[in-house]
C-alpha cells in the first residue's frame, strides 16, 4: 500500500502541529513547511516521540516572503507524491499595521497571498496526482465581515487588527471556493476545501514539548474555556477530516458540529453566502494574481 503524503504549512505549533501529528499517527508521511527551523526540529521530535516510526520531515517556508514561497514550492513539487496541501499557517496578531518584505499588509500578505502563491506554483505537481486536495484554513470570524476589494491591504483609515484578520480569513475562504469552481470547470482532479477549528485553545489540549511552549492556563481558565471551546488537538480534527475523509469533496466547508460551530466532532458546516459569491470570488482572484504575479492557468468558472 502506498503511503500518502500530506504537506502542512505552519505545522510547528497550534492547529498545524496537531494536524501533522494526527496525520502521522494515521500512517501518512507528513512534510511540515514552516519558517523556523528550530521550531520545526522541535515539532518533528515531538511527533516522533508520540508516534514511534512516524515519517516526518521539514521544508523551510516563509509565507511572508514571495521568494521563499517560490523556493519552497519548487522543493515541495519535487516530492514523488502529494496527496494534500493543508494551508494552515497564518498570522493572527500584528500589534498594528505592518508589511511583508514584498510590501503586503502582513495578515493579508501571509494568510491569503502567501498561500495563494504557494498553491498556484504547486498546482502542476498537485494536478499530476490521482486526487490531490488543497485544504485552506477558514475561521468563524469570516461571518462578521465583507471584503473591501479596493483596500485589501488595509491602507485606508484606521487599522483595526481584528477586522483585518477577519477579512484575511474571509478572503482565504472566498479564494478557496473560487479555486474549486475553477478546478471543476477545468475538469481537474484536484479539489479545494475549507476547514476551521471552532474555538480551539492550547489550554485544553494535551501537553507537547514544542516551541514556543503552549499555554497551559489554570483550573479556572480551563473550566471557562471548556464551556464553549475545545483543545487545539480537537480543533485540528476538522482539518484532518477535510484532508482524509473519503466523503470529503471539493467546495465543502468542514468544522465542529456543535453550537455555533465552536466545538464538537468534525462535520460539513455552512459558510456565509458572501464567501461563496462567484462575482466576489472572480474579482478577488484577479487581484490575487495581479498582486502575486502567479498565474494559475485556470479560466473562469
Positions annotated as catalytic residues are 165
> What is the SS3 string spanning the chain?
CCCCEEEEECCCCHHHHHHHHHHHHCCCEEEEEECCHHHHHHHHHHHHHHCCCCEEEEEECCCCCHHHHHHHHHHHHCCCCCCEEEECCCCCCCCCCCECCCCCEHHHHHHHHHHHHHHHHHHHHHHCCCCCEEEEECCHHHHHCCCCCCCCCCCCCCCCHHHHHHHHHHHHHHHHHHHHHHHHHCCCCCEEEEECCCCEEHHHCCCCCCCCCCCCCCHHHHHHHHHHCEEHHHHCHHHHHHHHCCCCCCCCEEEECCHHHCCCCEEECCCCHHHHCHHHHHHHHHHHHHHHCCCCCCCCC
| 134 DSSP β-pair partners | 85, 192
C-alpha cell at 263: 466545538
d(CA 125, CA 193): 18
Give Cα 282 to chain centroid, integer Å. 21
Amino acid at each position: 500500500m502506498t503511503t500518502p503524503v500530506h504537506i502542512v504549512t505552519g505545522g510547528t505549533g497550534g492547529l498545524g502541529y496537531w494536524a501533522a501529528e494526527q496525520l502521522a499517527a494515521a500512517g501518512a508521511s507528513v512534510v511540515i513547511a514552516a519558517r523556523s527551523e528550530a521550531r520545526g526540529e522541535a515539532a518533528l521530535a515531538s511527533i516522533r516521540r508520540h508516534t514511534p516510526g512516524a515519517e516526518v520531515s521539514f521544508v523551510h517556508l516563509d509565507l511572508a516572503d514571495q521568494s521563499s514561497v517560490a523556493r519552497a514550492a519548487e522543493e515541495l513539487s519535487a516530492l514523488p507524491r502529494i496527496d494534500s496541501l493543508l494551508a494552515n499557517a497564518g498570522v493572527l496578531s500584528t500589534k498594528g499595521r505592518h508589511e511583508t518584505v514584498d510590501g503586503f499588509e502582513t495578515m493579508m500578505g501571509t494568510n491569503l497571498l502567501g498561500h495563494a502563491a504557494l498553491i498556484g506554483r504547486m498546482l502542476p505537481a498537485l494536478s499530476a496526482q490521482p486526487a490531490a486536495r488543497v485544504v485552506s484554513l477558514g475561521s468563524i470570524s469570516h461571518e462578521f465581515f465583507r471584503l473591501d476589494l479596493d483596500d485589501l491591504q488595509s491602507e485606508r483609515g484606521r487599522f483595526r487588527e481584528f477586522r483585518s484578520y477577519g477579512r484575511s480569513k474571509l478572503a482565504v475562504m472566498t479564494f478557496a471556493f473560487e479555486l474549486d469552481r475553477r478546478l471543476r470547470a477545468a475538469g481537474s482532479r484536484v479539489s479545494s476545501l475549507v476547514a476551521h477549528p471552532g474555538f480551539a485553545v492550547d489550554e485544553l489540549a494535551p501537553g507537547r514539548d514544542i516551541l514556543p511552549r503552549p499555554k497551559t492556563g489554570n483550573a479556572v481558565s480551563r473550566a471557562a474555556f471548556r464551556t464553549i471551546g475545545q483543545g487545539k488537538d480537537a480543533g485540528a480534527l476538522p482539518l484532518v477530516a477535510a484532508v482524509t475523509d473519503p466523503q470529503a469533496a471539493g467546495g465543502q466547508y468542514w468544522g465542529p458540529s456543535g453550537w455555533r460551530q465552536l466545538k464538537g466532532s468534525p462535520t460539513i458546516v455552512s459558510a456565509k453566502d458572501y464567501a461563496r459569491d462567484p462575482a466576489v470570488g472572480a474579482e478577488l482572484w484577479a487581484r490575487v494574481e495581479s498582486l502575486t504575479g502567479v498565474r494559475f492557468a485556470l479560466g473562469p468558472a
